[in-house]
Structure formats: C-alpha cells, structure tokens
Amino acid sequence: MAKIAAMRVDKFLNTVNITKRRAVSEDMCKSGVVSVNGVVAKPAKEVKIGDVITIKFLAKEARYEVLAIPETKSIPKSAQALYVKEL
C-alpha cells in the first residue's frame, strides 16, 4: 500500500481534529481564514508533510505544521500530535 503524500486541507483539518466537521473547515477555507504556507487556501488545496497551515480566528491566529498525512478517515484525539504540531 502506497503512503499517502497529500490530503485536501479541509479534510486534513477535520481528520486531525482541528475542526469538528469537514463542512466547517470547508467554510473556513471559502471565507479566506485558512492559509497554507502563507497563501490563502481553497478547500481542495493539497497539504503535504512540512506545510504550515495558518487559521485566523477572531481573537487569535493558530499555526500548525503538518507532520504526517493520516491514512484513515479519522484519528483519535490522543494521536493528534503525531500528525500536526501547533507552532
């Protein structure tokens, strides 16, 4: 089985438990609050290992580094640190 090298940013945010639902991350991308490596990202933007995802919330900005791409549809919250690191 080939290792997954990339994943849609909306799906990634949902899979690694940063957003509760994929529809939420999709809306966040569409409203321009999500950027990958400093570029505003559309929901279908592919993220790869090493990419930095920035989310502009109303009160703060969160930055995450992609450490690994999950191969499953969801991961346990306890495993989040294996896939993403908050900067």
Q: Tens of pLDDT along 5-53?
A: 899 999 999 999 999 999 999 999 999 999 999 999 999 999 999 999 9
- Tell me how far apart the 2 most distant CA atoms of the chain are, in Å: 42
Classify the C-alpha dihedral 69-58-87-53 as positive or negative.
positive
> In the predicted model, is pLDDT for residue 1 greater than 50?
no
Token readout for 47 is 């993220």
> In the predicted model, is pLDDT for residue 60 greater than 80?
yes
When the candidates are 3.30.565.10, 3.30.499.10, 3.40.50.360, 3.10.290.10, the CATH number that belongs to 7-86 is: 3.10.290.10
The pLDDT value given to residue 7? 94
Domain ranges of the chain: 7-86
Question: For the chain, what is the HEC assignment?
Answer: CCCCCEEEHHHHHHHCCCCCCHHHHHHHHHCCCEEECCEECCCCCEEECCCEEEEECCCCEEEEEECCCCCCCCCCHHHHHHHEEEC
The pLDDT value given to residue 72? 85
Q: What is the pTM of this model?
A: 0.89
Calculate mean pLDDT across residues 55-74.
92
How crowded is residue 87: how many other Cβ atoms within 10 Å of its Cβ?
A: 10
